Amino acid sequence: MSDLMEKIVSLSKRRGFIFPSSEIYGGLQGFWDFGPLGVELKNNIKKSWWKKFVQERGDVVGLDSVIIMNPKVWEKSGHVKGFADKLLECKKCHHRFRGEDISAVDGMGGGCPKCDSRDYEEEKEFNLMFDTYVGPVKDSASVAYLRPETAQGIFVNFENTVNSMRLKLPFGIAQIGKAFRNEITPGNFIFRSREFEQMELEYFVNPKEDEKWFDYWVEQSYQWFLDLGIKKENIKKRSQAEKELAHYAKATVDIEYKYPFSAQGGSASGGEKGWAELVGISNRQDFDLKAHGIKYKDDVPQEEYIPYVIEPSFGVDRAALTFLLDAYEEIKGGRTTTTKSIKEEEVVLHLHKDLAPYKVAVLPLSRKENLIKVAKDVYKKMQTRFMAAYDEVASIGKRYRRQDEIGTPYCVTVDFDSLEDKAVTVRDRDTMKQERIKIIDLVDFIRERLGL
Ligand code: ATP
């Protein structure tokens, strides 16, 4: 694992962002839990996405469909037959490869990358859907699947949604929710896991306008990351080549990020080291609605046709990893110039304010009773408006660094002068600039700074 990834994995565990799932029993490969700060980050990512892709538009509505649906959904969508990866297993060391990794091995002369043996089990097709049983009888008639994407829940609710909301083309239906894939090679922390969340938008258009809308949604998706502070040099758009396209897709653009690892399999970008899929935007044409036998009637002109669908498909967990990686900065010797630097390593997580788990931390300068009382009052006031932290343990410098490391944009220090002037010092995470603000004005000040 790269140095940066190791640091992110360790920070995530140490500071309560992400934990290995069921760790006390040795964990389970491909499953991760989000801790107290991780759940805030994830919720903020979802909130920001929903605001841009649903709330601020008049043409997109939301949906929350179930994870386990009638298995016919997955038969018709092609997943039962086709949502499979090629699986190759080395007979000697039992190393397993998937999809494109097999071609990569072929390209390197055919030896197993782990043990160099050329003795493999027969290549198999491996369906990535998890299955389960519905009801008390476990037989083939009761088999059901955990959804491997949220999109199909949208397609099967197309008619109900259109009718109840009186939707007219072009319009979109958005959904955020869990998806499950029994990945052959989960890894790179939460980049590829077996249980994850997706944020998907299915935007239905007149087939004559598909290319215009496809370009539009590629730009909107890309812009969302830039608006949330992802560095331009670390993100790019890549059109999939014809041979890479899924069978239903007329075109697909992957928004890729420059990860500090080489991703395996399908999400690895055309061979370029580090770059891998963060989001995929596909023109799925009329494949899905047709597969489910769904029609749409437009009033003008009076014709019945099947809309095309443009799908931006985001992974919440992959986005969370990307925001953490991109925000991480390590400063050798620390940033303090006013006092003699303690020469320790300082970490600042420059998360966008919308994404930061805590927006503000309240820190009394000392543990004197009268200071604590004021600080706790200020904390209470902050909590009613923002996710706020309170910390009275260790030196003020240490406490600033604790908050910098988890990306808290503002620290509010209550000092002895506060008792007299009824004001506090607000410190900015990125500039370290300090401003004296009256307690009575503090909520408005922070709110304005956060753009709320
Ligand atoms: P890959 O090629 O990496 O397997 P995919 O092309 O099959 O991915 P899509 O079906 O397009 O992925 O899924 C849309 C998005 O969902 C991806 O861009 C990614 O952000 C997220 N995603 C897909 N699979 C996983 C996974 N196993 N773990 C975490 N996120 C995932």
Q: Ligand 1 site: residues with CB under 6 angstroms? A: 149, 181, 183, 192-193, 196, 198, 265-267, 277-280, 313-315, 317-318
DSSP string, 345-404: -EEEE---TTT-S-SEEEEESS--HHHHHHHHHHHHHHHTTS-EEE--SS-HHHHHHHHH
pLDDT exceeds cutoff 80 at 264: no
Mean pLDDT of all residues in 82-103: 81
What are the pLDDT digits (tens) for 58-70?
999 999 999 999 9
Distance 149 CA to ligand 1 centre (A): 9
Mean pLDDT of the chain: 93
- Pick the residue whose CA is nearest to atom 7 on ligand 1: 266
Nearest-atom index, ligand 1, CA of 263: 3
Which has the closest alpha carbon to 61: 196, 156, 154? 154
Which has the closest alpha carbon to 312: 25, 49, 3? 49
pLDDT exceeds cutoff 70 at 228: yes
- Pick the residue whose CA is nearest to atom 26 on ligand 1: 192
Substitution site in 42, 194, 196 for ligand 1 pocket (most atoms within 8 Å of beta carbon): 196
pLDDT confidence band for 89 (50 / 70 / 90): confident
CA distance 146 to 153: 12
What is the CATH architecture of 35-71+147-325? 2-Layer Sandwich (3.30)
pLDDT exceeds cutoff 70 at 51: yes
pLDDT exceeds cutoff 60 at 164: yes
- Please tell me the predicted confidence (pLDDT) of residue 1: 75
Higher pLDDT, residue 395 or 120: 395
Mean pLDDT of all residues in 97-109: 69
Distance 315 CA to ligand 1 centre (A): 7
pLDDT exceeds cutoff 70 at 437: yes
Distance 131 CA to ligand 1 centre (A): 19
- Please tell me the predicted confidence (pLDDT) of residue 103: 67
Domain range 358-450, CATH class = alpha beta
Domain residue ranges of the chain, discontinuous segments joined by + = 35-71+147-325, 358-450
Distance 320 CA to ligand 1 centre (A): 14
pLDDT exceeds cutoff 80 at 277: yes
Distance 142 CA to ligand 1 centre (A): 28
The DSSP element (H or E) to which 205 belongs, if any, is strand 195-205
What are the pLDDT digits (tens) for 9-48?
999 999 999 999 999 999 999 999 999 999 999 999 999 9
- Please tell me the predicted confidence (pLDDT) of residue 338: 59
- Please tell me the predicted confidence (pLDDT) of residue 342: 59
What are 139's strand-pairing partners?
Answer: none
What are the pLDDT digits (tens) for 278-308?
999 999 999 999 999 998 887 776 778 899 9
All residues at 6 or more sequence positions from 283 whose CB lies less than 8 Å from its CB, including other chains: 210, 211, 214, 249, 250, 251, 252, 308, 309, 310, 311
- Please tell me the predicted confidence (pLDDT) of residue 340: 60
What are the pLDDT digits (tens) for 357-398?
999 999 999 999 999 999 999 999 999 999 999 999 999 999
- Extract the tokens encoding 357: 């788990």
Higher pLDDT, residue 58 or 117: 58
